[in-house]
Structure 1
Amino acid sequence: MAEIQQKDSGERKKGKQKKFNVRVDFTPMVDMNMLLITFFMLCTSMSKPQTMEISMPRKDLLNEQEQNKVKASKAMTILLGKEGKVYYYMGEPDYENPEMVQETDFSPNGLRAILLGRNQAVMQKIRELKQKKANLEISNEEYLRESAEIRKAKDSPVVLIKATDFANYRNLIDVLDEMQICNIGRYAIMDITPGDLRLLQDKTHDGYADDLKEVIEYRELKP
């Protein structure tokens, strides 16, 4: 509540204005603030954390030999290196042929273009499915169910993601984002093998090659 108090010292000089002391009482504002806080706490919906589905293979069922059984025409392996560098090779690995490993990047014309090229058949089916949904021929639930089946069909590509000890977490997230953008339904994060590290070692000619050599020796000696 606001109050105005007049300060009168008795006799007032001619032509001099009166002075007033103004005091604003903010006590009622405390109750109002509490009501507002309670209102927003009860009416605001808390943001839910967004999760990403990651296919993690069971180590007791999927070893290096079984990984190599993936059909060569559908398999692609992505290797995450140092300082954001990304490499890949198609089909079964030939550890005696370092030329099979190619370097790319995370630009739209890099890894994404490669994944889209490998996944053309699935992308075409997804586009047709989206058109049916736009024409109201199928419901949203049917679209989600059928699109999931298309992505995980047996003829869809398989992507194995392997990170070195020098890769950063951001690059792994970038690769997983590309899996979603390119509608890759069958992918898994795998432990990198000494053979993959040797392929990367042959592609580098600086101090990074020595670092990879130390990691290879450690993994080979590790029981």
Structure 2
Amino acid sequence: MAEVTASDKSSEGKKRSKKQTTKIDMTPMVDLGFLLITFFMLTTTLSKPVIMKLNMPFDDGTTSVVPESGSLTVILGKADRIYYYQGLSDDPDTRVQTTDFSPEGIRKLLFNFKEKIGDAFTIVVKSTENAKYRNMVDLLDEFTITNNKHYGIVTITEKDKQLLSRSVTDY
């Protein structure tokens, strides 16, 4: 609490009026500060981690066949590049095209493909050794934005690598 004290000090023997000094006890205010800090720490809700739900297939040994007319193969390459084609990788008429992660890139491609074929198409995602993990996460985000729920993540095959080497110089 606040306390007022008087000092009797005088210099050179002269009689002066007594000066009053104020001393404030800060202990209750510090206690109140710590109580407020504790209250707000305990009542704050911490941000929950945002996770993406992936449906994993059962490991029963069966494989699902996707028709080539209803599938789009997307291959993640280095330098944030995306290579895609429709059809089979061993078909000589298959053309590999390139896009990126811009809104005019993969997002527009997915919307156009969905508009052309409908909701019943599957995206097959493959990744080269030079792709980054961030690219896969960005691609999954694009699937969520474009509301594409049918996709599969598979390993890249030698046929895909040969198709890329025929079509693209640096993948």
TM-score, length-scaled by structure 1: 0.63
Q: Give me the whole-angstrom Cα distance separating, in 1, the residues matched to 2:55 and 2:40.
A: 39
Matched position secondary structure for 1:32: helix
| Cross-structure match for 1:9 | 9
Identity of aligned residues (%): 41
Whole-Å separation in 2 of the counterparts to 1:180 and 1:171: 14
1:23 shift after superposition:
4.4
2:125 maps to a residue whose letter is I
The Cα of 1:58 is off from its aligned counterpart by 5.5
CA distance in 2: counterparts of 1:202 and 1:21, whole angstroms: 90
Q: What is aligned with 1:157?
A: 121
> Which residue in 2 is equivalent to 1:77?
73
Aligned-pair Cα RMSD in Å: 3.2
Report the CA distance shift for 1:56/1:89 in structure 2 as closer, same or farther (over 3 A): farther
Deviates most, 191-200 or 168-177? 191-200
Contact 2:124 2:151 in 1 (8 A): yes
**What letter corresponds to residue 180 of structure 1 in structure 2?**
T
The equivalent of 1:29 in structure 2 is 29
Partner deviation per Cα, 1:82-124 (whole Å, 9 max, x = no partner): 1111100113322645x5111111112211111001212898x
| Aligned residue identity for 1:73 | S
Distance 1:19 1:158, change over 3 A: farther
What runs of 5+ residues in structure 2 fail to find an aligned partner?
none
| Alignment partner of 1:104 is 2:104 | no
| SS of residue in 1 equivalent to 2:45 | coil
Check whether the contact 2:70–2:120 (CA below 8 A) recurs between aligned residues: yes
Q: Is the 8 A contact 1:55 1:187 kept in 2?
A: no
Distance 2:117 2:23 in 1: 73
Q: Match of 1:50, as an amino acid?
A: V
Q: Counterparts of 1:198 and 1:60 in 2: how far apart (Å)? A: 30
CA contact 2:70–2:117 (8 Å) conserved in 1: no
Aligned equivalent of 2:142: 178
1:188 equivalent in structure 2? 152
SS for the counterpart of 1:110 is: helix
- Tell me the number of residue pairs that the alignment of Structure 1 and Structure 2 aligns: 170
Distance 1:4 1:122 in 2: 86
The structure that has the greater radius of gyration is 2
Q: In structure 2, give the amino acid aligned to 1:104.
A: T
More helix by share: 1
Confirm or deny: 8 A CA contact 1:57 1:188 kept in the other structure. no
